[in-house]
Amino acid sequence: MKTLLTLAICFAAQQIVFAQQKEKDALPAAPEGKAWNIVWHDEFDGTKLDEAKWEVMPDAPRKGGWWMRKAVSLDGTGHLVISTIHSGVSAGAFTRLINMEIEPFMLSSSVLGVMALRLVRRICPSCMEAFSPPPSQLKMVPEELVADAQFRRGVGCDQCYQTGYSGRLPVSELLVVGEPFREAVLKKMPTSSLEEIAIGQGMRTLWQNALLRAISGQTTLEEIIRVLAAELV
């Protein structure tokens, strides 16, 4: 899974943008008066970040710990850095970065938020029908939600190639770093404890947001269990 990691503060004159493609034509239009300065991950040494221009640095995570340490160090220069990191849940990004030898005090003062993202299959609208999930799946849904749930499934048709699904839906988990969370990062608390603090501050987990997709009939319980099985263990 790729987790969106946002570091540092926004600075009006400079921002860093990451692109996943090398084709200039695929890049968004540069701001008025600016021009893209494309720096590929195997050529980037960090020096050009000091110039007052926009940077495009594809595949930045491949730089590993070196790149993340450089990104965190930009906090004092007023950059907004958006990068990706592989982690199971959003709170796990902090544990992962600490294991990459990034000091907790730098993380606690630099990271604004982390977004975890999964994709689940959408029920095909052409063959959608009402459906009652088996008891083994229903027991994973809180009782107060079952009464008003609108469970559906796709029976399969030519439009979805008999799969019952068509397209995908995002399921996200946004962790906004608050003061109690910063203190927990400084103490190097484990991922489970960090997640509990984030939930206490109002974060909805991947499972909770996926469940909302299922009870509203956008996807199935079977699908969210398949995608989020690791989070249910």
Tokens of 201: 């501050």
Contacts for 156 with CB less than 8 Å, ≥ 6 apart = 124, 127, 162, 163, 164
Task: Give the three-class secondary structure for 67.
Answer: helix
Q: Which residue stretches of 114-166 are H helix?
A: 135-138, 143-146
Do residues 81 and 7 touch, judged by C-beta distance below 8 A?
Answer: yes
Residues of the chain with CATH 3.40.50.300: 113-233
Q: How far apart are CA 176 and CA 233, in angstroms?
A: 24
Percent of the chain with pLDDT over 70: 65
Confidence at residue 67, expressed as pLDDT on a 0 to 100 scale: 65
pLDDT bucket at 48, cuts 50 / 70 / 90: very low
Do residues 122 and 168 touch, judged by C-beta distance below 8 A?
Answer: yes
Report phi then psi at 64, rounded to 5: 65, -140
Model confidence pLDDT, tens digit, residues 89-138: 899 999 988 888 888 888 888 888 999 999 999 999 999 999 999 999 99
Q: What is the mean pLDDT of residues 58-73?
A: 58
Q: What is the mean pLDDT of residues 199-220?
A: 94
113-233 domain in CATH 3.40.50.2020?
no
Model confidence pLDDT, tens digit, residues 132-181: 999 999 998 998 888 889 999 999 999 999 999 999 999 999 999 999 99
Confidence at residue 168, expressed as pLDDT on a 0 to 100 scale: 95
